[in-house]
């Protein structure tokens, strides 16, 4: 059974995934918020929302080692792989995902930060049912989920982090609103929050 996290809560992935946890998947999903019946008639609401999930790898000093996003789908050490860009948010489940081989991850990576941003500048008040989750890739079991009920005029979100702690990993729900249209725009905010 998955753990549902609130903002700033964390969970040990070893506790949830066991000693055999070697690879995880970070998934992000969202739906387009409808503006209601009158909004549809008058041309508001509906359509598509292009959000982009990204992963920033930091070392112990908070220096960026690598970024994985829709323009760089694989990390330099090949341990982090992005599923590719979803331009609409349509469909059930994860709209974008990032697979991480924890055993192949460079030893100097201490923290992975999952961010979501709108490259087109669409705001989060046009999004509903947004979530981030971490899944044990070996068993396909969801270990933890962070449902984002936070809407607003922001274009970016520092969603969550996965932190190495003495050989173990901890998933933390962050949920920090920010602005930015690419992962590079969110790096300084992410660094401040880890």
Q: Would you kindly state where each structural domain of the chain is located, as residue ranges? A: 3-192
Instruction: Output the pLDDT for position 104.
Output: 94
44, 81, 191 from 162: Cα distances, Å: 37, 15, 13
Under CATH, which number does the domain 3-192 receive? 2.60.60.30
Mean pLDDT of 100-125: 92
> What's the pLDDT at 39?
42
Specify the range with the lowest mean pLDDT, choosing from 23-37, 43-57, 159-173, 176-190: 43-57
- Please determine, for residue 86, whether its predicted confidence score (pLDDT) is greater than 80: no
| pTM of the predicted structure, to 2 decimals | 0.86
Task: List Cβ neighbours of 115 (8 Å cut-off, separation of 6 or more).
Answer: 53, 54, 55, 56, 156, 157, 158, 159, 183, 186, 190
Q: Tell me how long the chain is.
A: 194
Distance CA 165, CA 71 (A): 30
């Amino acid at each position: 059974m998955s753990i549902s996290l609130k903002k700033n809560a964390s969970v040990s992935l070893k506790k949830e995934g066991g000693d055999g946890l070697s690879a995880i998947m970070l998934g992000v999903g969202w739906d387009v918020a409808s503006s209601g019946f009158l909004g549809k008639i008058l041309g508001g609401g509906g359509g598509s929302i292009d959000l982009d999930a990204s992963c920033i790898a930091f070392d112990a000093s908070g220096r960026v080692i690598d970024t994985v996003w829709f323009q760089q789908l694989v990390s330099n050490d090949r341990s982090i792989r992005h599923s590719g860009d979803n331009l609409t948010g349509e469909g059930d489940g994860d709209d974008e995902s990032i697979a991480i081989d924890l055993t192949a991850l460079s030893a100097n990576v201490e923290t992975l930060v999952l961010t979501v941003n709108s490259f087109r500048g669409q705001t989060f008040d046009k999004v509903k049912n947004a979530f981030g989750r971490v899944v044990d890739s070996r068993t396909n079991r969801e270990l933890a989920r962070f449902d984002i009920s936070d809407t607003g005029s922001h274009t970016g979100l520092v969603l969550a982090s996965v932190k190495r702690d003495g050989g173990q990993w901890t998933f933390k729900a962050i949920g920090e609103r920010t602005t930015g249209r690419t992962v590079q725009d969110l790096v300084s905010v992410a660094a401040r929050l880890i």
